[in-house]
Each structure stands twice: as structure tokens, then as C-alpha cells.
Amino acid sequence: KTSFPSGMTYNVNYDVSRFLDASIHEVLRTLVEAFILVFIVVYIFLQDLRSTLIPALAVPVALIGTLFFMQMLGFSINLLTLFALVLAIGIVVDNAIVVVEAVHVKMMEEHMDPMTATISAMNEISRAIIAITLVMSAVFVPVAFMSGPVGVFYRQFSLTLAIAIVISGINAVTLTPALCAILLKNHHGP
């Protein structure tokens, strides 16, 4: 405006940033709600405060990793990628909960220490976690290859979601078992 001739003004008729700011606010709100729900559900069913910490750590690790890959691929933060991140919040926590629950079952039924229970549980469920990760990714990756305007719109959405799912699967076979072996305690007897 400083370079305009005197008496000339401007106004913004349509500001997209307000919608993007509202979407970012919704993503953050959903993230907080997901943390609270995970905490409550895991605590109610497993009745162990340490067990609630493990899935709560899985969500930010997967989302930060997803944001890293989004930046590497040149994706922008837009309504569709934010929508993918909101969906990913609910999806990425599932694998961690499966691992924690499997370790708890081993400790409770077979009276194993956390390290042994984690190794035993992962021998049983790691192939299933990998299969779930591949199937979930297979649902979203083909959308990235669609042509035309629909393909352009949904490419970033589908790849963002697929990346979050893959990182969640990697977390479920690496980070989550390590946290289970370190953090969990066997409260079910010897």
C-alpha cells in the first residue's frame, strides 16, 4: 500500500488463510482429543499408567515423521493434507495398542517378565502388524496414481496418509516393543 498513489486503497475479498488456520486448530484439537481418548481407553482396559504412555508416544512420533516426509516430497499444508493428518491420528495409535495389549496378555497369562513377554508377543504378532500396514497402505497409495483433477487433489492426501500408516507400522515393530520392554512392569505375579 505504501507504493500506491495517494487516495488508493485495497481490501481483501477472500482470505484462504482463515480456513487454513481453522483447519490447523482442528488438527491440534483432534490431536489432544486423541491423546485423551487413548489415555482413557488404554488405562480403563489395561489399568496400568505405564501402558498409556507407550501409545501416547506413538502418535507424535508418527505425525512428526509424516511431516518430515511431507516436506521432503514438497507437499504443502493444505486442507487435504490436514484432513489426512486428522485421519492418521486415529489410525497410527492402533498398532501401538495392539503391541501393548499383546505384551500384557503374555505377562498376565504366562507370568513373563516384560522383556521376555515383548519378545514372545512380537514373534506372534509382528507378521500381522506388517500385513495390516501393507493392507492399509494399499488402500490409499493407488489414489496417488489417479489422473486428472481428482488425482491432483487427492495425491497429497493419499500419500500423506500412507506415509503415516507406514511409519506407524515401523514404530509398532521397533519403538513400541522397545518401550514395552523398558517401561512395563509385571504386576501379575511371578
190 residues of the chain, pLDDT tens digit each: 778 888 888 887 777 778 778 877 887 787 778 778 877 887 888 788 888 888 888 888 998 999 999 999 998 887 788 888 888 887 888 888 899 999 989 998 998 999 999 999 999 999 999 999 999 999 999 988 888 888 877 899 999 999 999 999 999 999 999 999 999 888 765 5
pTM of structure = 0.82
Q: Which residues of 146-166 are buried (b: 16+ CB within 10 A; e: fewer)?
A: eeeeeeeebbbbbbbbbbbbb
